[in-house]
Chains A and B, each alone.
Chain A
Amino acid sequence: MKKKRNSFVVRTVISWRLVRSSAVLLRDNSDLLIFPIVSAFLTILVSAAFGLSVLAVKDFDLRALTETSARFRFIALFLFYLAVYFVIYFCNTALVGAVLQMMEGGRPTIRDSMRIAYERIGSIFGYALIMATVGMVFRWLYGRGGVPSRLVGPLVRRVIIFSFLGLAWHLVTFVVVPILVVENVGPIEAVRRSARLVKATWGEQVVGNTSIWLIFSAPLILIAILATPLLSRAVDSANDWYTILILYGFVMAFVTLLLVQMALHAIFSAAVYRYAAGKHVADEFDETVLRNAFRSRPSPISTRLRNLAHRNHTKTTA
């Protein structure tokens, strides 16, 4: 018997429900933001360490850096991609692990989530290796000197074609991280499984991803529109601290939006995986179960503050 396929309208409704439920989950469990924050910290750290290492190799000679061989640039860029992807996917796995546990009614802690990622460290590294390789291939395809870009032709056509290729790759690998968490398979098998699941849910993925993109694009465009004249005025003023404040304001607005978007994206990927795997449909995404499901250990500072407040309150009452 032929399997009945959902119509586009049904797919759209399901997708919006999944996005909405993901947003509700994030709203009620803001602690989940710790993972993108850690990811951002580590990315900055890795970038700084990487930059310093490359400079050290060239004896801190900036001019020598511009005259490096193509092989050196290739290896350096590949290692950089690998390190950054590893950090991002490690934190993403921890986040998706926490979300999937919450969807099963669990109450994970940050430590539980990090343990999930740590137990899959080999697969995460393998997946980072795949993503770094694909990143380099895309760079080569997109680059002016590459044979494919010469075949494809001018800039506008290159941008359109390779943007579609990038989008297709993004969709194919969209549920790799949830698969790594739940099925604990190797990275290549995870990509294969993700591609198979995509066939069943591509409509929901496209609508969901586009919705998330649209939600965050509006403020990002607004930031860009505001940033251009204000920054130009700040630079013209020749006042360094004024420039720093304006630039910092826009960078922080951008980073904050990006952190929330990264978290929402990861939650949505977990939701799509469960939906595709047939474990839950959007209606069964039980918001009351998920509300405040993420248990965070109180920090030493907040515990001390709470104890101090409690002591003062006891003294006043006495």
Chain B
Amino acid sequence: MHSLIHFIRSIKPQIALAYAGLAAVIFALVAGAVLGGHALVRANTIPVGEVRAGSLTVDRDDARAVDAEITLGFDEMTLRGGAEQLLELDFVTNFAEDPAVVYQVDSGLGDLSIEPFPATGIPDASRISEYRNQWDLRLDSETPMDLTIVLGMGEGNIDLRGMTLTGLTVELGIGDATVDLRGGWQRSFDVTIEGGMGEATVLLPDEVGVRASAEPGIGEVSTSGLELVDGAYINSAYGVSDVTLNIEAEGGIGELHLEVRDEEETQ
């Protein structure tokens, strides 16, 4: 303490002046960031409006394959295959605008993204629980698709059976989710599951090979119907089937269950 007092007393005026100058610049930066940030938030806050229903469709156009990124953000979503068009969405929302869909095709590759509101919008943190954003989403099962699903604060019931996937990434958020990967897949692909704070269940096939590396993170990863061999979980079809799902699962804070189940069993 004595040394600290000695140190402070020994600081010469020009050093104190330089420090004061730095402090003033930092004050301007902090004040600018807070006031500017707040003004930006106020200008772009998404209001909570009347609850309404709507629907959207996207035609595949001449795309031979599609990269799709679906961001739910809030509330809940059911997703499955079997759509006649590339995307069919029925929604119930209280955002002023419909979900923001962007789709473009370049050299036969389609790039699809869907978000709950325009990217410039900022949700009102104090009314977050009042937002309604329920999606019943169907995707075309025939189009080869590299699919990314970001749940954010929402819950998801994702049934990918029968689809033609070339890759899958699921980023879980705060809510719970079920991802159904059962079925007789025709080609191998990589799956990345990033755990969140909720509970996630990934249902895996017993007819095609599964090789999963699971890292628990802070939370818990449990498996059922998988055997641990050389640091990876495999099912009984692994090495026998020509098709393999390579799964990389990172647990978050919550629980992640990897379960092999017969397709007839219900979720």
Q: Do A and B come from the same complex?
A: yes
- Report the bound CA distance from A63 to B251 in whole Å: 32
Determine whether the beta carbon of B13 is less than 8 Å from that of A299.
yes
Determine whether the beta carbon of A244 is less than 8 Å from that of B34.
yes
With A44-B29, A63-B119 in contact, is A299–B14 under 8 Å at CB?
Answer: yes
A31 at the interface (CB under 8 A from B): yes
- One of A27, A154, A248 near B6 (C-beta < 8 A): A27
Contacts of A41 in B (CB 8 A): 18, 21-22, 25
Determine whether the beta carbon of A251 is less than 8 Å from that of B30.
yes
Spot the interface stretch: A32-40, A85-93, A199-207. Answer: A32-40
- Report the bound CA distance from A26 to B25 in whole Å: 25
How far, in Å, is A219 (CB) from chain B's closest CB? 11
- Report the bound CA distance from A59 to B22 in whole Å: 30
Determine whether the beta carbon of A255 is less than 8 Å from that of B26.
yes
Determine whether the beta carbon of B18 is less than 8 Å from that of A38.
yes
**Which chain B residues (26-57) contact chain A, with CB distance < 8 Å?**
26-27, 29-31, 34-35, 38
- One of A26, A27, A252 near B23 (C-beta < 8 A): A252
Determine whether the beta carbon of A33 is less than 8 Å from that of B15.
yes
B142 at the interface (CB under 8 A from A): no
Instruction: Provide the main secondary structure of the chain B interface.
Output: helix
Residue tally, chain B, CB below 8 Å to A: 30
Instruction: Provide the main secondary structure of the chain A interface.
Output: helix
How far, in Å, is A212 (CB) from chain B's closest CB? 15
Residue tally, chain A, CB below 8 Å to B: 32
Contacts of B21 in A (CB 8 A): 41
Determine whether the beta carbon of B14 is less than 8 Å from that of A298.
yes
Q: Mark B139-158, 1 if CB is under 8 A from A, else 0.
A: 00000000000000000000
Contacts of B240 in A (CB 8 A): none
A156 at the interface (CB under 8 A from B): yes
B17 at the interface (CB under 8 A from A): yes
Determine whether the beta carbon of A30 is less than 8 Å from that of B11.
yes
A307 at the interface (CB under 8 A from B): no
With A156-B215, A244-B34 in contact, is A252–B11 under 8 Å at CB?
Answer: no
How far, in Å, is A223 (CB) from chain B's closest CB? 15
Pairs across A and B, CB under 8 Å, 11 listed: A23-B3, A30-B11, A34-B15, A37-B19, A44-B25, A156-B217, A244-B35, A247-B34, A251-B26, A299-B13, A302-B14
* Pairs A-B, 3 closest by C-beta atoms: A154-B215, A299-B14, A302-B13
B residues within 8 Å of A by Cβ? 3, 6-7, 10-15, 17-19, 21-23, 25-27, 29-31, 34-35, 38, 119-120, 213, 215, 217, 250
For the complex with contacts A33-B19, A44-B29, A301-B14, 13 further pairs of A-B residues with Cβ separation under 8 Å are: A27-B6, A27-B7, A30-B7, A31-B12, A37-B19, A40-B22, A44-B26, A63-B120, A240-B35, A244-B30, A255-B26, A298-B14, A302-B14
